[in-house]
Amino acid sequence: MLSTMQDTPLSIAQLLRHGSTVHGDAEVVTWTGAGTRRRSYAEVGRRCAQLSHALRTLGVTGDERVATFMWNNAEHLEAYLAVPSMGAVLHTLNIRLFPEQLVHVANHAEDHIVIVDATLLPLLTPQLPQLTTVKHLIVTGDSADGVEAPDSVQVHSYEALLADQPTEFDWPEVDERSAAAMCYTSGTTGDPKGVAYSHRSIYLHSMQVCMTDGPALKQGDRALAVVPQFHAMSWGLPYAAFMIGASLIMPDRFLQPEPLAALIAAEQPTFAAAVPTIWQGLHQYLEQHPQDISCMHDVLIGGSAVPPSLMHTFEDDHDIQVLHAWGMTETSPLGSVARPPAGTEGEERWRYRYTQGRFPASVQARLVDDLGEILPHDGNSVGELEVRGPWIAAAYYGVDAPDKFHDGWLRTGDVGTITPDGYLTLTDRTKDIIKSGGEWISSVDLENAVMGHPDVIEAAVIGVPDAKWDERPLVAVVLREGSGATVDTLREFLSDKVAKWQLPENWTVINEVPKTSVGKFDKKRLRSQYHDGDLEVTRI
């Protein structure tokens, strides 16, 4: 029997209509380095209509890809909302990709238009001759005069294009399963691959971002979106903010600790999201320049494992609750969130908060071993995490990747355990696991333990070849300036925190752990530095 219910499509246009009217007074605030630019959601709504009219005049009539090469700011938000609402597909280009990767993804997605921030032109224009499908470049910020582009590419100024366009648009009704936006993985473990999100998946994911036991973004929040709009959709914050009426605080290109601290002081965000390295940097800065940042009631951290020491520091020194979350580009990106069960207290509560968290009802998770057998959720059995659900990718755009999917489940490449009450603890990525004498050593556990030392700023652990054990861990560690710690004292510090056979004997002190385009530890680069003999390794 069919239901008797209406079947109205879930769409980005619905979020845009709702946010710009019901929450028309909410605002997007963009940091300029010296102050702010402010725009109400009502105004954003009018400008989205103008942008859509302008894009129509440039030949966007169907599902053409409109790419962005931008920082987090008001104009990027307008592209996020307008492009899918008019039926086209937003493609967020990662500004930190290597040139050849950038060319690959723009051509692969067949981008028709690129909206580019004037400050990023030097990174984009040298590649333009190779972007074979791009017909228009729309420049935000400074004037578009004098931009060097091949004859096949017309250059426009964003503001001039919008200026005389009508401020209303008759948003088409789109099939909720059609693509709204696409994003390529950052290529941490291979070539970037494209994920095409649907209107439906983004809508449902936005609801999850606002769920009480999820990130719980709510009406009236002022959300500091440090997570870039050019990677993993800024963790869904722009769409969720329009859904719920939370204002957005956008740092633009000012991502260093000092301007971030100034932005926090000026705008008093109540909610924030970023990868661990951003918060590590901010904390170090605040040690020298004390400032009250407790306006932020929740700080969502994910993208890589959050060291427990960082969570405690934020709670003890800044009165901020860190909310640990797991996700990936392929999962829109929100997967699990570590809100402890009601009624837990003290140490037990902390232990839940250290995990990668629980999955919402919409996302199913399972663990699978090397032979494809499903493992129990007993908190001990270690296997690869597989997930399925309405905002989880079922395939990549235009490439076959059979090894990434398994009977309708996404193989995440992450390895860990799940407890009977559903809490995920990741021990590694499959590619980072250290196999020592037939046993697995978790690089994440070792990193967390080393980072618990007060003199350690960063620690990344990789497996290196070993004649006796096949592989042993190498700890690359960044020490606080003036620290008296040595690799011997660090090893001693670990001695009661990890099993004896796991204690690393290979150490290297470095100035900075190499980072990926989105600020995660780049273990691929660390490994090649090791193999090229660029690391000075001490063997204890």
Return residues touching ligand ADP (CB under 6 A): 185-188, 232, 302-305, 324-329, 356, 412-414, 426, 429, 520
Tally Cβ neighbours within 10 Å of residue 349: 12
Q: For residue 318, what are its two tokens?
A: 């800044």
Q: Are strands 439-441 and 434-436 parallel, antiparallel or unpaired?
A: antiparallel
Alpha carbon of 283 to those of 49, 289, 468: distances in Å? 41, 10, 41
Q: Are strands 271-274 and 434-436 parallel, antiparallel or unpaired?
A: unpaired
Tell the smallest beta-carbon distance from residue 336 to ligand ADP (Å).
8
Query: How many whole angstroms separate alpha carbon 335 and alpha carbon 182?
Result: 18
Query: How many whole angstroms separate alpha carbon 160 and alpha carbon 147?
Result: 15
The smaller minimum CB distance to ligand ADP, of residues 251 and 302, is found at 302
Tell the smallest beta-carbon distance from residue 326 to ligand ADP (Å).
4
Tell the smallest beta-carbon distance from residue 431 to ligand ADP (Å).
9
Query: How many whole angstroms separate alpha carbon 233 and alpha carbon 253?
Result: 17
185 catalytic per annotation:
yes
277 catalytic per annotation:
no
Q: For residue 387, what are its two tokens?
A: 């997930």
Q: Look at residues 488, 491, 517 and name the one whose alpha carbon lies nearest to residue 504.
A: 491
The smaller minimum CB distance to ligand ADP, of residues 46 and 377, is found at 377
- At 313 the three-state DSSP class reads helix
435 catalytic per annotation:
yes
Q: Pick the catalytic residue: 330, 384, 447, 458?
A: 330
Query: How many whole angstroms separate alpha carbon 216 and alpha carbon 237?
Result: 11
Q: Look at residues 185, 238, 293, 140 and name the one whose alpha carbon lies nearest to residue 517.
A: 185
Q: Pick the catalytic residue: 61, 168, 435, 501?
A: 435
* Contact yes or no for 323/342 (Cβ under 8 A): no
Q: Pick the catalytic residue: 92, 185, 355, 425?
A: 185
Return all residues near 13 (Cβ < 8 A) that are at least 6 apart. 84, 85, 171, 172, 173, 174
Q: Look at residues 265, 223, 260 and name the one whose alpha carbon lies nearest to residue 244.
A: 223
Query: How many whole angstroms separate alpha carbon 540 and alpha carbon 538?
Result: 6
Q: For residue 145, what are its two tokens?
A: 């005069």
288 phi and psi, to 5 degrees? Answer: -85, -30
Helix axes 257-267, 276-288, angle to 10 degrees: 80
Tell the smallest beta-carbon distance from residue 520 to ligand ADP (Å).
6
Cα dihedral: 168, 170, 176, 179 (round 10)? -70
Q: Pick the catalytic residue: 431, 440, 471, 486?
A: 440
Q: For residue 88, what are its two tokens?
A: 């086209």
489 catalytic per annotation:
no
The smaller minimum CB distance to ligand ADP, of residues 73 and 185, is found at 185
Residues known to be catalytic: 185, 330, 435, 440
